[in-house]
C-alpha cells in the first residue's frame, strides 16, 4: 500500500540519539521506499509553546533541517519544510481545537510532565500542543506517522480528533485515521544516567544523552561513563529486561547495527560491559561522525538550507491548501476564499 507519511521534529537544538534512532533514521528508511509520499516538518510553532530566543530559534530551525539532510533525507524525494511557513497549520489547529475536548487534553502525560507542578503557569499553547500536532498530520491526509513511543498518546488523540470532526460534520472518512510507526528495536531510548527516564533534550545532565553533534571523544566518554550494573551481559532476553540500563545499551547497539536484540545477546553473553562499551561507542561514532561533519558543512551555507525550506513549503501548501479549504467549506466558513 502507498503510505502518506508525515512527521515533525521540534527545532529546540541538541538533537540526540533518541531523536535519531526513534524518528529520523526511520524517516530516511520510509523515504527510500519509492511507494511512499513523505513529508517531514520542522515544527517551529510547537517549539514556541515554551519561550524561545528569536535568534536561537532561527539558528535551530536551520540546524534541524541540516540534521535531516545530513542523516539522509533528500529534498528531491521528501518534502522538507518548516511549519510556520505554511499558515494552514495554525488555522487547522484552531478548527480542530474547537472539536477537541478539554478532558482529552487534560489526560496528556506530556503536558503534565512539561508543565510540572505549577500548571497554572504553563502556556495555553503547551496545553493545546497536541491539537496543533493533529492539524499537522490531518492536513496532509497522512496515513502513517513515524515517531518515538513517547508520542503514542498524541497519535491516539489525533485519531479521536479526526473521528469527532468526521462525525460532528457528517463527513465520514474526511480525515483518515493515521497509524503511528515506531522503531521496532528502540522505540524509546533511555537516559545514559537513569534507565527509567527517556533520553531528552531537556535533561540537565549532558552526560545523559548522546547529541548528534558530539565529537568522537565525547561519545566514547559518555558511553564509558554510562550507568550499568555489575553483572555481565545475559544470555536471555528475560534477564535483560529486568536491567533497564543494560537493556538500553543493548537496544541501542541492536538498533544501530540493524540486528535483533537476541543476536546481540548471543554474541556478547557472559562478556562484561567494559568489553561491550567500546564496541558500542565505535558503532555510534562511525555512524554519527559523518552526519555531524555534514551538518557543520551545511550550516556554512544557510541560503541553501533556506531554499530547501522555501521549496518544501510551496510543495506542502499544494497539499494542505485544498484540505484546509475543504475544511472551511464543511464548516460553512468559506465565502471569499478562492
- Minimal distance, residue 4 CB to ligand AMP, in Å: 17
Q: Which residues of 245-281 are buried (b: 16+ CB within 10 A; e: fewer)?
A: bbbbbbbbbbbbbeeebeebbeebeeeebeebbeebb
For 173, half-sphere exposure in the C-beta direction (CA atoms, 13 angstrom radius) is 0
Asked if 213 contacts 16 with a C-beta cutoff of 8 angstroms, the reply is: no
Q: Are 139 and 89 in contact (CB under 8 A)?
A: yes
On the CB side of 92, CA atoms within 13 Å amount to 34
x/- map, 47-66, ligand AMP, by CB under 6 A? --------------------
Name the binder of 140 from ligand TRP, ligand AMP, none, CB < 5-8 A by kind: none
Using rule CB under 6 A, residue 67 touches ligand TRP: no
Q: Which of 164, 201, 294, 317 is catalytic?
A: 201
Instruction: Based on the residue annotation, tell me whether 300 is a catalytic residue of this protein.
Output: no
Considering only residues 12 through 41, tell me which ones interact with ligand AMP, judged by CB under 6 A: 18-19, 22-23
Which position among 3, 58, 77, 114 bears the catalytic label? 114
Given the rule CB under 6 A, which of 115-123, 148-156, 167-175, 325-333 is the region that contacts ligand AMP? Answer: 148-156
Cα–Cα distance for residue pair 145/143, rounded to 1 Å: 7
Residue 162 makes contact with ligand TRP by CB under 6 A: no
Q: 18 is in the binding site of which of ligand AMP, ligand TRP, none (Cβ under 5 to 8 A by kind)?
A: ligand AMP
Q: Is 247 helix (H, G, I), strand (E, B) or coil?
A: helix
H/E element, 245: helix 244-256
Residue 7 binds to ligand TRP (criterion: CB under 6 A): yes
For ligand TRP, the nearest residue by Cβ is: 8
Rounded to an integer, what distance in angstroms lies between the CA atom of residue 223 and that of residue 225? 5
The residues assigned a catalytic role are 114, 198, 201
Q: Which residues bind ligand TRP (CB under 6 A)?
A: 6-8, 10, 43, 46, 133, 136-137, 145, 147, 151, 154
Q: Which residues bind ligand AMP (CB under 6 A)?
A: 9-10, 18-19, 22-23, 147-148, 150-151, 188-189, 198-199
Amino acid at each position: 500500500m502507498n503510505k502518506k507519511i508525515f512527521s515533525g521534529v521540534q527545532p529546540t537544538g541538541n538533537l540526540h540519539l533518541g531523536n535519531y534512532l526513534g524518528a529520523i533514521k526511520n524517516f530516511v528508511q520510509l523515504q527510500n521506499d519509492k511507494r511512499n509520499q513523505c513529508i517531514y516538518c520542522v515544527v517551529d510553532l510547537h517549539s514556541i509553546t515554551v519561550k524561545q530566543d528569536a535568534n536561537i530559534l532561527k539558528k535551530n530551525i536551520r540546524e534541524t533541517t541540516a540534521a535531516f539532510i545530513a542523516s539522509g533525507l533528500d529534498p528531491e524525494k521528501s518534502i522538507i519544510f518548516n511549519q510556520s511557513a505554511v499558515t494552514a497549520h495554525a488555522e487547522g489547529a484552531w478548527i480542530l481545537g474547537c472539536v477537541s475536548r478539554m478532558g482529552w487534553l487534560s489526560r496528556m502525560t506530556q503536558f503534565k510532565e512539561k508543565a510540572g507542578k505549577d500548571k497554572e503557569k504553563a502556556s495555553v499553547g503547551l496545553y493545546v500542543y497536541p491539537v496543533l500536532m493533529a492539524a499537522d498530520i490531518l492536513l496532509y491526509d497522512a496515513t502513517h506517522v513515524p515517531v518515538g513511543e513517547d508520542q503514542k498518546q498524541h497519535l491516539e488523540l489525533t485519531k479521536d480528533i479526526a473521528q469527532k470532526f468526521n462525525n460532528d460534520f457528517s463527513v465520514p472518512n474526511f480525515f483518515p485515521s493515521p497509524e503511528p510507526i515506531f522503531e521496532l528495536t528502540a522505540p524509546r531510548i533511555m537516559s545514559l544516567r537513569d534507565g527509567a527516564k527517556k533520553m531528552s533534550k531537556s535533561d540537565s545532565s549532558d552526560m545523559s544523552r548522546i547529541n548528534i553533534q558530539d565529537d568522537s571523544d565525547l561519545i566514547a566518554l559518555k558511553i564509558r561513563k554510562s550507568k550499568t550494573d555489575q553483572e555481565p551481559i545475559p544470555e536471555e532476553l528475560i534477564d535483560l529486561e529486568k536491567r533497564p540500563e543494560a537493556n538500553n545499551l543493548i537496544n541501542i547497539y541492536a538498533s544501530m547495527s540493524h540486528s535483533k536484540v537476541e543476536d546481540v545477546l548471543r554474541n556478547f553473553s557472559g562478556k562484561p560491559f567494559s568489553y561491550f562499551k567500546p564496541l558500542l561507542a565505535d558503532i555510534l561514532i562511525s555512524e554519527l561522525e559523518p552526519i555531524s561533519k555534514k551538518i557543520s558543512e551545511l550550516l556554512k551555507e544557510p541560503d541553501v538550507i533556506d531554499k530547501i525550506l522555501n521549496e518544501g513549503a510551496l510543495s506542502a501548501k499544494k497539499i494542505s491548501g485544498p484540505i484546509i479549504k475543504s475544511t472551511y467549506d464543511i464548516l460553512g466558513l468559506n465565502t471569499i476564499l478562492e
